[in-house]
Amino acid sequence: MLRLDGIRKAYGARIALADVTLEVAAGEAVLLVGRNGAGKTTLLRIATGFLDADAGTATIDGLSVASARTRAQARLGYLPEHAPAPAELTVREHLTTRARLKGRAGDAVATAMRAAAIEEVASQRIGTLSKGFRQRVGLADALLGDPPLLVLDEPTSGMDPIQTRELRTQLIDAAKQRAVLVSSHAVADLEAMAVRVAVLREGSLVACDTPRALCEQTKVERLDDAVMKLLEPAA
C-alpha cells in the first residue's frame, strides 16, 4: 500500500533522512520509533505528500506522491501530531467541511465519528473538548471516507494513561484491514497494534521487523528494551 524507496532529505547541511526504504502492506501496522529529531515526522510528511523528498520515491497504492499527489492523498488518512482543529467549530462542522474538502461522501462523517467513538460530542465546540477527545476527532478526520492507508504521527503524545488506553483501542480497531504507519517515541503505548517495528536512528532505518524478531535480535525480552538498544549510537 505504502512504499518508501531510498528516501533522502536534508535541511541544509543536516541529513534528516538517508536512503530510507520502507514498505507497509495492507492489513499491516508498522510502528515507527526513534528519538526526537530522528526523522520520524519528516518521513511521515514525505509519505503524505506534505514534503518533497530530495531523492527517492514515495508511492501510495502505486501512485507517486510527488507526481500524482492529490490522487495518492485520496487513499490516505493522516493524523498529524497534536491533531489540529479549529476551536470555534463544532466536531460535526469540522468533520463535515473536512469531508467536503476531501471529496468524501455525505455519510462519511457519521461513519468516521462512530469509528472514533465521538458521536456524543458531535455538537460540541472543539475548543471545549479534552485532549483525548481532540485526538479522537483527529482520528475521525483521518478515517473519513475509509481510506486504505492511515498515517499517524505521535497519536498519543501529551495524553494521560487513561486517554492513551482509550485512543489505543480506537487505533487498534481502525488499523484492522488497513495499512497503518504510526510513529511514536513511546513504544509501549502502541506496541499492541504493531505488526512490525521500524527503528529510525539519526535519519537511517536501522531495523524493521516484528517485535519478537527485534527482541531476539537484541537479546532482550521487552520491545522497548530492544528499541533502546537499537537506538544506542553505533560503537
- Of 9 and 201, the one with the shorter C-beta distance to another protein is 9
Supply the minimum distance, in Å, between the C-beta of residue 20 and another protein.
17
Give min distance, CB of 167 to another protein, in A.
17
Q: Are 24 and 30 in contact (CB under 8 A)?
A: yes
Phi, psi of 94 (to 5 degrees): -60, -50
- Here the cell at position 121 is 460530542
d(CA 64, CA 9): 17
Q: What are phi and psi of 33, to 5 degrees?
A: -120, 160
User: Closest distance between another protein and the C-beta of residue 78, in Å?
Assistant: 5
Closest to another protein by CB, 120 or 232: 120
20, amino acid identity: V
C-alpha span between 189 and 165 (Å, rounded):
8
Q: Kindly list the residues in this chain that would bind another protein in the complex (CB under 8 A).
A: 45, 48-52, 54, 69-70, 73-74, 76, 78, 80-86, 88-90, 93, 97-98, 100-103, 123-125, 128, 141
Q: How far apart, in whole angstroms, are the C-alpha atoms of residue 212 and residue 150?
A: 23
Cβ nearer to another protein, comparing 7 with 208:
7
| Distance in Å, CB of 117 to another protein, minimum | 19
Name the residue nearer to another protein (CB basis): 30 or 85.
Answer: 85
